[in-house]
Structures are given as C-alpha cells and as structure tokens.
C-alpha cells in the first residue's frame, strides 16, 4: 500500500521550483495559480531568497502549488493514501479529490494571508523541543502557558505561544530536552490564529467539495475522513488546532503502508517517517529527475483504493484502528438518516463514532461486532445515499 505526503511550512528552499519550469505547461500552470493565490509563484519558486519565501502569506500557496505540480506528473490514481502536514493538508485533499487543485491553491492563498495577519497582532512564536520525556515536556509546555502546536513523533514536539513564555521555557527546559527557537512569524495551530480560522471559514463556506476517493488522513487525530464537508471543516479548524503528525504516522503503520512518496520540497516528512515507521520504502521527489523513481514505487506498491463509493452506494469506512461495534438493534434493510450513528470503532484513544453521511438503506454490513478494523476499512454499504 502506498501513501503520498505533502510537506508543510518550513520545507521550502530558495530556487526549488526552477527545474520544474522545464516541464511542458509547468510555467503556465504556476502563472494561473499565481492569479488565484495573489502571489507570483514563479518568482517565489525560482528567484526569491530565503527571507522572501519565509513570509507565511507567500510560503503557503507556494508549497501547495509545488506539491500539486509534481502530482500532475504522476499516476496518482494508483495511490491509496494521502496525507499532508499543516498547509500540506490542502494539497492532500486535492490528491484525494475533495478539492480541485485550483481551489486548494486559492484556499492556501487565503490561509497564508490571514495567518500572516493574525501573527502581526501579538508577538508570538514557536520552538522545537527535541528529546526529553514526553509527559514531562507536555507538562512544561502547559506550565509556561504555551501550546503543543505540533507533535511530530520521533521525540519532537513544537511549543507555541507568547515570546516571553518561550524564553522562559528555553531558560528552564525539561530534563534531557533541547529547545530550538524556530524562525516563524507566530504561534501557528494555537488560539492565537483564531482570526485567521474565522476568515478562512468564511471563504470555505462557498466551496463545493466531493467525497475523497482515497484514504485521506487528518492531522487532527490521524483518522481517515471519508466525507467531503467534514474534510473541509477540519481544514478550517486546523488553523488553530494542533498538528498530530505522530498519529498520522501511527495510522500509516496500522494501515500496513509499505511505501511513501514525499512531494516537493521533500525531506522533512521523509525524515520523520524514517524514524517513526519501520520497514517502509521512502521516496523523496525534489526535481523532475526524481519522477521516474516515484513512478516505479507507485507501480510496485500502488493499487486502486478499495473504499471508493459506487455510483449507487456509499461505503462507510472506519476512521481509526480498533474493533468495530455496530449500533444495537440496527439491521440490514433499516432506513438511515443523514448523520445517524451506526456504530463505533473502539480505538486506543477511545470510541470513535461511525456515522452515515447521507440518508439511505443499510444494504450490507461489511464488518461484524468485535472485528478488528483499520483506518479506511469499509464497515457498511448504504444504498440510495448521494
């Protein structure tokens, strides 16, 4: 099973898009997306220096466009799982068919501008905490009035909040932990970004989405999400919610993913996966010269998703790893209403409700009581659901 990953802010490098402009149609594509995002993506990806592409308003659409541009040169229909880190979730949602590429780039432009504006309201920042006992690290973050904005696995947690609180944390680090201040504009994925979340939500309210045709993993909890409107709500909420990349990697392992491809600018997520998921083949795509090896790994590990909805049925899939518990008294042939709880997956983090996204008839149970299930595994088939 194969997963494609899209990196988040901080992965960008000066000039990283230069070799991609040699591909037919690439420059025209970037210029169109530049118009949608209100930034010059060609300049930012080729001529801009590190300081210019550190600007959140520019970086976020740049990263989204880069991942989408590379994906257009790969047989993505054979990819089963999609995930992205932070703003990378917009590209992942496009890979999975929830958003169009144009919509993903447009949203990235809005997201970047609004988060940059929120950063200007108060002096905030972020610091990476490497090593130390996780419980002690989280307790220290809370004690200093900070937020655990990113939990990236492999002994890496990012604290975010007021600059003076970050300085106190650096002066009194947890035992055996190293504090590294990050060069970012503010406290992403914390309540400090509430104005940006509200602004993004206003724009997102006018977007038409589709159900994902791949297993799409959410940064919120690592779970698979199979309902387009729910994906969109999570993308908006993610602006202030922590990134749980550790749980995404746990789900990659639970699914039995055997290979991952990180799209440009690649390297950051590949490093985390290498340390966090054992026995997995990892391919990084940074230039068009890397496309052949990516196509090769897709040919060897890729497969059509097994949970894509049939034109006359909707397949409800598990959002977590655990054991399935169908709702009591709910039998095949029963009529379901939109949003009705049809069961739960009892996971390590507690029960995760399974709901019917669309009214219809419970045509068939695809899992039985106490069956072990993985994220994205089909649980029930609903007839007549649109």
Q: Would you say 262 and 280 are in contact if contact means Cβ atoms under 8 Å apart?
A: no
**Nearest one of 216, 263, 201 to 97, comparing CA atoms:** 216
Would strands 360-365 and 378-383 be described as parallel, antiparallel, or unpaired?
antiparallel
Spot the catalytic one: 85, 127, 147, 189. 189
- In angstroms, the CA 263 to CA 59 distance is 15
Would strands 341-347 and 313-317 be described as parallel, antiparallel, or unpaired?
unpaired
- Tokens at residue 107, please? 């949203």
Residue 219, class by beta-carbon neighbours within 10 Å (0-12 exposed, 13-18 middle, 19+ buried)?
A: buried
- In angstroms, the CA 367 to CA 357 distance is 18
Q: Would you say 116 and 249 are in contact if contact means Cβ atoms under 8 Å apart?
A: no
Would strands 177-181 and 378-383 be described as parallel, antiparallel, or unpaired?
unpaired
Q: State the Cα angle at 61 between 58 and 64, rounded to 5°.
A: 140
Q: Would you say 381 and 357 are in contact if contact means Cβ atoms under 8 Å apart?
A: no
DSSP H/E element including 342:
strand 341-347
DSSP H/E element including 262:
strand 259-262
Active-site residue, 213 included: no
Task: Read off the DSSP letter of residue 88.
Answer: H
Q: Would you say 8 and 86 are in contact if contact means Cβ atoms under 8 Å apart?
A: yes
Q: Is the peptide bond before 265 cis (omega within 30 degrees of 0)?
A: yes
DSSP H/E element including 291:
helix 291-301
Active-site residue, 86 included: yes
- Tokens at residue 98, please? 């929830």
Q: Would you say 59 and 39 are in contact if contact means Cβ atoms under 8 Å apart?
A: no
Residue 86, class by beta-carbon neighbours within 10 Å (0-12 exposed, 13-18 middle, 19+ buried)?
A: buried
For residue 243, list its beta bridge partners.
Answer: 150
Spot the catalytic one: 86, 127, 218, 318. 86
- Catalytic residue ranges: 86, 189
């Amino acid at each position: 099973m194969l997963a494609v990953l899209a990196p988040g802010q901080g992965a960008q490098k000066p000039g990283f898009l230069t070799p991609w402009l040699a591909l037919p149609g690439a420059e025209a594509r970037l210029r169109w997306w530049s118009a949608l995002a209100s930034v010059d993506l060609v300049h930012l990806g080729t001529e801009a220096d590190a300081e210019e592409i550190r600007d959140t308003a520019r970086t976020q659409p740049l990263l989204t466009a880069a991942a989408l541009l590379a994906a257009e040169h790969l047989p993505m229909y054979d990819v089963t799982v999609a995930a992205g880190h932070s703003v990378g979730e917009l590209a992942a949602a496009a890979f999975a068919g929830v958003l169009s590429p144009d919509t993903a780039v447009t949203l990235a432009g809005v997201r970047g501008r609004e988060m940059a504006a929120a950063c200007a309201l108060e002096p905030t920042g972020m610091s990476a905490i490497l090593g130390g006992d996780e419980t002690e690290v989280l307790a220290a973050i809370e004690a200093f009035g900070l937020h655990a904005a990113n939990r990236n696995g492999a002994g890496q947690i990012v604290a975010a909040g007021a600059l003076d609180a970050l300085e106190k944390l650096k002066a009194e680090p947890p035992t055996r932990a190293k504090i590294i201040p990050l060069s970012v504009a503010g406290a992403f994925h914390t309540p400090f970004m509430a104005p940006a979340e509200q602004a993004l939500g206003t724009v997102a309210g006018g977007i038409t989405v589709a159900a994902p045709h791949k297993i799409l993993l959410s940064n919120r909890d690592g779970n698979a999400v199979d309902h387009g409107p729910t994906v969109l709500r999570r993308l908006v909420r993610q602006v202030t919610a922590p990134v749980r990349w550790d749980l995404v990697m746990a789900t990659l392992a639970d699914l039995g993913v055997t290979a991952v491809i990180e799209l440009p600018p690649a390297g950051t997520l590949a490093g985390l996966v290498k340390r966090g998921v054992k026995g997995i083949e990892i391919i990084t795509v940074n230039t068009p010269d890397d496309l052949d090896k990516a196509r090769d790994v897709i040919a060897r590990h890729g497969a059509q998703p097994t949970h894509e909805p049939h034109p006359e049925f909707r397949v409800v899939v598990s959002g977590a790893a655990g054991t399935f518990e169908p709702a009591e008294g709910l039998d095949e042939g029963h009529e379901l209403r939109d949003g009705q709880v049809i069961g739960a997956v009892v996971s390590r983090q507690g029960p995760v409700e399974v709901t019917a996204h669309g009214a219809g008839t419970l045509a068939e149970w695809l899992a039985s009581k106490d069956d072990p299930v993985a994220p994205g595994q089909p649980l029930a088939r609903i007839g007549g659901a649109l």
